[in-house]
Structure 1
Amino acid sequence: MERIEPQHGDTEAATRVWSVTEFCVRHRLDNEEEARLLRLFGPFATACELRYNAKRAPKWR
């Protein structure tokens, strides 16, 4: 395990702002999930928020 100081970490990717619709298209989320994320965040959200809140059905089902 290695400790990383906050000033050395890369936070730019996590704080990048995405269009919720574009995120859903890129990650192949269905229309229901897109509508849920739009209700939750509005038209824009950070990449971190979208990744942690997106629900996607497993491919094997």
Structure 2
Amino acid sequence: MSSLVKIEDVNESRLREVWSVEDFSRRHRIGKEEEARLRKLFGDFATKQELLSNAQRPPLFR
């Protein structure tokens, strides 16, 4: 099922925020290797949506 998306709603989305790759990696406990991969992919800054879509984290087990 599809629905109408207003442009105003998309621009106000928190996923469009621009984050530093370093800050994102620190907040989401991403290792240095993955941080380097994200920097190679995006540079120093990217949108939150891009970072969340492309970050790979190992599973955390007890």
For this structure pair, what is the TM-score category when the shorter chain's length is used for normalisation? 0.7 to 0.9
What is the TM-score of this pair, normalised by structure 2? Answer: 0.82
CA distance in structure 1 between the partners assigned to 2:4 and 2:28 by the alignment:
29
CA distance in structure 2 between the partners assigned to 1:2 and 1:42 by the alignment:
34
SS of the aligned residue for 1:35 comes to helix
For 1:46, give the aligned amino acid: T
Partner of 1:5: 5
User: Is 1:55 aligned to 2:56, yes or no?
Assistant: yes
**Structure 2 counterparts to residues 11-22 of structure 1, below 5 A:** 11-22=12-23
SS of the aligned residue for 1:21 comes to helix
What is the TM-score of this pair, normalised by structure 1? Answer: 0.83
For 1:52, give the aligned amino acid: S
- % identical equivalent positions: 46
